[in-house]
Structure 1
Amino acid sequence: DGENWAFPDPYKIIKGNGYLTGFHVKAINTIDDKLILVENNLYISSDSITDLKKIIDTVLSGDLARDMSAGHGNLYSVIGYGADFLNSGLWSSTDNGMSWGKRLSGNFTQVAAKDSFIIAGDGYYSNNPYYSADGGKTFQKITEEQGLKFLQTFSIEIFGDTVYIGTKSGIYFSADWGSTWSILSSDLMNNFILSIEKDNNFMYAGSDGNKFFMS
C-alpha cells in the first residue's frame, strides 16, 4: 500500500544472478499479474520479484529500452539512442515479451498506451511525437500546429480519456486522443515536467531542480 518499502527479498538473488546490471530501473508495469521492468533491457517475472528474466535477448540485444507500457493485451517498448540505430523505434509484443515486432522507426524514449491508442515521444531532442488510434496499424505525427508547442517529450501518461505530455514548459493535454493539444496550466510553464501522476483527488507533477507540484 506504499506505507513501507524495501528491496525485494532477497535483493542479492536478483543482482547476484546478473539479471539487473546496474539496477537503474526506469519504468515498472504489470501485465497478466506479471511484473515488468525497464533497465536498459526488459525483464519479466514469472510469479515473483525474485524470478526476473531478461526477455530481450535477440532482436533488441545491446540496445537501450527506454520505456514501456501495456495496453489492449499488448506490451510496448521504445528503443532509442542505442548501439544499433536500425533497432530504434516502437516495438510491440502480443505474448508477454517472448517475441517482438517493430511498429514504428525512430528514436523514442517515452511511450504510453491504452486500449488501441498508442503514443510515443522523444525526451532527448525536439522530434515529433507519434500516435496511433488503431493499435499500431497506422501512426500520425503530432505537430505544433495541433497545439503541442514543445515537441520534446519528457513524460507521457493517460488518465481516463485524456492524454498528458510533460514538456520543457509545462503539461499539455489532449481530450480527443492526440488530434489537438492545449496547455494544462500556465502555473507549470517554464518547468521541465519529468513525471505526471493522478489519483482520485489530486494531480501531481515532478520537475527538475527538486520541484514538485500538486493540483
Structure 2
Amino acid sequence: MNLLYAYHENFHVYMENFEQLILWIAILCVFGTIICHAYLSLLSKNFFYELKVDDIKISRNFSIIDLQLPYKKSLFTEILINVNSKTEKLVEKSLKIDSYFMPFAYGSIFFLTVFLFLKFKNPELANHSQMSMILKCSFLLPLISYVADILENHVTYKLIRKISILKQEKINNKDVEQKNSYKKKKLILRSRLKIFFFAAVKWLSVIYSITLILLTTGYLIKLYFM
C-alpha cells in the first residue's frame, strides 16, 4: 500500500492506496485505446487505391500501417501515386483521430509503469529496489513514443498533401511530366526514410515498455503468490 502525502504550511494531502488510483486511470486509458483502435480499423476498411491492369481498373484495399511502416517501397509508392481524393481525405481523417488514440495508448503504458513502480516501492519489497529503479528509468519511454508518433503522422500527412498537389498539376509536355515524376519519387523517398526513423523510435520504445511491464508483472505475481 502506497500513500500520497504532501505538506505545505497548514495544507495537508493524504491519500491511501494511491497506486490503486493509478491502476484505475491505466485501465480507463486501455478502454480508450480499444475504442479508438476499433474506430480506426473501421475507417481503414474504406482505404482503396486503383490500378490499371489490361485497361481494367482494379481497386485494392490498404491499411494505415502500409503508409506508416513502409517496408515495401514499391507498395508504398503504388499507394501514394494511385490513391484517390476520397481515400486521401479518409486517411487524413484517420491521422487526426489518431491524435485522440495516442494519449490513451501511451497513457496506459505510462500509468501501468507508474503503478508497478509504486508496487515495488512498498516496504515489504524493499529488497527489490533495483526493479523500482529500472521502472523509474522507463517513465520517459511512453513520452518518446508519443512524440515520435506525432512526428510520424505529421510527415505522413504532409506527404499525402504534397503528392496530391503534384498529381493535380497540369502536364503539357514530356519534360514537365518527367520533372513531375522526379519530384514525386524524391518526395516519397525522403518522406519514407523519415517515417521509417520515427516508426522505429516509436515501436522500439513501445515494445521495450510493454515487455518490461509484462516481465515485472510476472515477477510481482511470483513474489506474492509463489
Q: TM-score range by the shorter chain?
A: under 0.3
Bigger radius of gyration among the two: 2
TM-score when normalising by structure 2: 0.23
TM-score when normalising by structure 1: 0.23
Between Structure 1 and Structure 2, which shows a larger proportion of helix residues? 2
